[in-house]
């Protein structure tokens, strides 16, 4: 499930300086390769690089590079451990083969970085990008990686196979600048929101429905009610702070959930705080879930009433005639409902083509529902789960009878 319960603006609302926490790692241990090329090993995975706090341009992924025949071959056997690759004499190396270029030898597939050039001799860094050093035969075709060339300031690439960062710089990165790895902050914030949303779904273990329905949504206009949106934001912020300020991360997490079970999510889980689609008696009066809705629909079932007269049922409520239901006009919207019988669930017609009027209207099994104002489309469908033997949940009783 890919639904997220808040957005990046919600993170700023609960933590205005959340942008200061970017989980960057300082890159050290630079080695000069010559010709303004530098290497740093054991950096850990890098997808975004920063220089003195500024994000550098994205590197070309080596996996996206197409290698093309440079029209020149090796001139002698290239043994394991050798770093000087000699090409066929042509009055100098081919013009496409330059310092900072990545190449591949056709005979073995080994990939290398050219770090210097002298006539037909190339000095290379070997065994890159998921390849290993292999003895090369003479007269092997040389292929050039298109689009992956380190010859301008701030150009870089990361090799996950060797866990090495290569960068072009006119000055030593170790002493003249701060180079940091990290993740694009928009991406990182959205990832934290997704993870928090996934955790909340598993933790509270009950339906979390969008707050749809004209004149029924929260004042903020958010898709989900505030208790869920805010809990997601606080938990997301705790993820972003973790590792940089664990004490503050604990503070934000505790607002959502904690060992004392006083967090907002703890109370939603226990039933001390009810979600909008949960009746006080939970399944006794029915719990609403959306089965399917047209993307243009804005109306929904927003309340239930009554007490289930059966041990259990899963009532289907389906819009049979769509339209706009609003105050001061005749409602064109109609619904039917289906209850169980001896043949199975949702088999027996209970209410047939009843006009939606905004009051509590019967759907069967002693249960009535109230529809919000809004747009309804034929075949919009809802389920109402009921249990006449419900058990109250809350701070004293914590058995959950809805599942």
**Cα 229-233-234 angle, rounded to 5 deg:** 120
CA gap 398, 269 in Å, rounded: 9
Is residue 402 predicted with pLDDT exceeding 50? no
Mean pLDDT calculated for residue range 255-262 = 96
Region of poorest pLDDT, from 20-34, 90-104, 163-177, 362-376 = 90-104
Burial class (CB in 10 A: 0-12, 13-18, 19+), 199: middle
Instruction: Please count the other Cβ atoms lying within 10 Å of the Cβ belonging to residue 255.
Output: 19
Note the pLDDT tens digit of each residue in 349-386.
Answer: 999 999 999 999 999 999 999 999 999 999 999 999 89
Residue 266 host element (H or E): helix 264-270
Predicted pLDDT of residue 336 = 98
Predicted pLDDT of residue 221 = 76
Please name the residue that has the structure tokens 């079932």.
Answer: 301
Region of poorest pLDDT, from 54-63, 289-298, 321-330 = 54-63
> Which pTM was predicted?
0.58
* CA-closest candidate to residue 304, choices 177, 237, 209, 163: 209
In angstroms, the Cα distances linking 127 to 94, 96, 121, 251 are 22, 21, 18, 47
DSSP string, 60-84: PPGGGPPEEEEEEEB-S-B-TT--E
Phi, psi for residue 371 in degrees, rounded to 5: -95, 145
CA gap 108, 306 in Å, rounded: 75
DSSP state of 217: S
Pairing of strands 111-118, 121-128: antiparallel
Instruction: Please count the other Cβ atoms lying within 10 Å of the Cβ belonging to residue 205.
Output: 11
Is residue 392 predicted with pLDDT exceeding 90? no
Predicted pLDDT of residue 403 = 35
Predicted pLDDT of residue 147 = 84
Is residue 103 predicted with pLDDT exceeding 70? yes
What percent of the chain stands above pLDDT 90?
66
In the beta sheet, which residues pair with residue 225? none
Name the pLDDT band for 322 (thresholds 50, 70, 90).
Answer: very high
DSSP state of 98: -
Instruction: Please count the other Cβ atoms lying within 10 Å of the Cβ belonging to residue 122.
Output: 25
Predicted pLDDT of residue 182 = 83
Burial class (CB in 10 A: 0-12, 13-18, 19+), 221: exposed
Name the pLDDT band for 90 (thresholds 50, 70, 90).
Answer: low
CA gap 309, 387 in Å, rounded: 8
Six-digit token string for 174: 């170790």
Reported in sequence order, the residue ranges of 43-140 that DSSP labels E, i.e. its strands, are: 48-51, 54-55, 67-73, 84-86, 101-105, 111-118, 121-128
DSSP state of 240: H
Reported in sequence order, the residue ranges of 106-206 that DSSP labels E, i.e. its strands, are: 111-118, 121-128, 141-149, 156-159, 164-168, 179-182
Is residue 95 predicted with pLDDT exceeding 90? no
CA gap 223, 226 in Å, rounded: 9
Six-digit token string for 14: 């609960």
Q: Give me the residue spans of the domains in the chain.
A: 8-21+186-270, 25-182, 282-386
Mean pLDDT calculated for residue range 268-297 = 82
Is residue 281 predicted with pLDDT exceeding 60? no
DSSP state of 47: S
């Amino acid at each position: 499930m890919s639904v997220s319960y808040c957005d990046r603006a919600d993170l700023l609302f609960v933590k205005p300086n959340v942008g200061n926490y970017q989980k960057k790692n300082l890159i050290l241990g630079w080695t000069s390769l010559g010709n303004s090329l530098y290497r740093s090993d054991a950096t850990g995975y890098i997808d975004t690089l920063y220089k003195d706090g500024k994000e550098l341009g994205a590197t070309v992924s080596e996996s996206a590079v197409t290698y093309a025949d440079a029209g020149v071959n090796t001139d002698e056997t290239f043994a394991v451990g050798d770093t000087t690759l000699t090409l066929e004499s042509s009055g100098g190396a081919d013009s496409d083969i330059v310092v900072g270029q990545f190449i591949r030898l056709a005979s073995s597939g080994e990939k290398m970085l050219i770090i210097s050039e002298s006539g037909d001799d190339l000095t290379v860094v070997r065994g890159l990008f998921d390849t290993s050093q292999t003895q090369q035969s003479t007269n092997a075709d040389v292929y050039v990686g298109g689009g992956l060339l380190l010859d301008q300031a701030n150009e870089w690439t990361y090799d996950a196979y060797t866990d090495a960062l290569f960068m072009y710089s006119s000055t030593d990165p170790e002493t003249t600048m701060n180079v940091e790895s990290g993740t694009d902050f928009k991406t990182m914030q959205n990832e934290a929101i997704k993870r928090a949303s996934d955790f909340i779904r598993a933790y509270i273990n009950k339906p979390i429905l969008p707050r749809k329905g004209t004149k029924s949504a929260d004042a903020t206009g958010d898709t989900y009610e505030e208790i869920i949106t805010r809990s997601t934001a606080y938990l997301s912020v705790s993820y972003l702070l973790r590792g940089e300020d664990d004490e503050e991360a604990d503070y934000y997490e505790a607002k959502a959930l904690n060992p004392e079970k006083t967090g907002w999510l703890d109370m939603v889980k226990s039933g001390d705080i009810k979600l909008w689609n949960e009746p006080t008696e939970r399944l006794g009066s029915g719990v609403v879930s959306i089965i399917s809705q047209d993307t243009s629909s804005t109306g929904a079932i927003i309340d239930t009433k009554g007490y289930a007269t059966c041990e259990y049922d899963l009532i289907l409520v389906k819009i049979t005639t769509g339209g706009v239901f609003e105050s001061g006009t005749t409602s064109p919207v109609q619904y039917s409902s289906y209850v169980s019988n001896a043949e199975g669930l949702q088999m027996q017609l209970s209410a047939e083509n009843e006009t939606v009027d905004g009051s509590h209207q019967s759907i069967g099994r002693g249960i009535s529902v109230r529809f919000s104002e809004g747009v309804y489309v034929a075949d919009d469908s809802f389920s109402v789960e009921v249990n006449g033997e419900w058990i109250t949940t809350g701070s004293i009783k914590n058995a959950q009878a809805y599942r």
